[in-house]
Chain A
Amino acid sequence: GENVEQHPSTLSVQEGDSAVIKCTYSDSASNYFPWYKQELGKRPQLIIDIRSNVGEKKDQRIAVTLNKTAKHFSLHITETQPEDSAVYFCAANSNSGYALNFGKGTSLLVTP
């Protein structure tokens, strides 16, 4: 089946630094790439998404870049804050259009 690889699995940064999480996907038909944040004991929540017709999207401190040729996309968080600490999941839609294939998640810890 389609595969989404996510790295790193854990990431620790100091408050104020930037954090970057990278994902690769295998299905060349994928055209929708959301990122979810899941805090401990809570549901995954969408923080940003990108479609294949753009290469970059930004929302305040969060940005996502997409390289369709290389089949990889990345999440960038600038000026990190302790409340950014959570598990982040990337995903790519499948060729059926309905399913989302998720990465294994990155546990981000922002230390004051």
Chain B
Amino acid sequence: ETGVTQTPRHLVMGMTNKKSLKCEQHLGHNAMYWYKQSAKKPLELMFVYSLEERVENNSVPSRFSPECPNSSHLFLHLHTLQPEDSALYLCASSSIRGDRSHETQYFGPGTRLLVL
């Protein structure tokens, strides 16, 4: 599937490194999301961008910094992460209508992150 792509697919980083995750959607959507998926926990919403404006930020530590330069691209910049940040990071996109009614979210394949 090529609707929502993410790079890299796997990442190992030390606690002092700086890295970035990239997400690209080819579906013409106007909203993009970052989720964290850890073992035995629900999918946790981290950030939402609608029309390139951040509309939700769910108390995520500042060591995670999102960037949405346009409606097709979303980045997650990582800095001084902790081992407990190791998880699968999923990007998703959707269309949001003017009345904010919800449309289906399509997920990317995820980036498997390991922080040593």
A interface residue numbers (CB < 8 A to B): 4, 31-32, 34, 36, 42-46, 49, 89, 91, 93, 96-105
Contacts and interface: CB of A to CB of B under 8 A. Distances in A.
B42 A98 contact: no
B12 interface: no
Interface of B: 1, 4, 31, 40-43, 45, 48, 50, 55-56, 58, 90, 96, 100-102, 104-110
A98 B31 contact: yes
B102 A32 contact: yes
26 contacts: A4-B42, A31-B102, A34-B104, A43-B1, A43-B107, A43-B108, A43-B110, A44-B43, A44-B90, A46-B105, A49-B104, A89-B43, A96-B100, A97-B100, A97-B101, A97-B102, A98-B48, A98-B50, A98-B55, A98-B96, A99-B56, A100-B43, A101-B42, A101-B45, A103-B42, A104-B40
Nearest to B102: A32
A45 B109 CA distance: 10
Contact of A98 (B56, B104, B106): B56
Contacts, number: 60
Contacts of A46: 104-106
Given A34-B104, A43-B109, A44-B90, 8 more contacts: A36-B107, A43-B1, A43-B90, A45-B107, A98-B96, A99-B45, A100-B102, A100-B105
Contacts of A45: 107
Contacts of A101: 42, 45
**In the A-B complex, the 5 residue pairs with the closest CB atoms:** A97-B100, A102-B43, A32-B102, A43-B107, A102-B42
Contacts of B90: 43-44
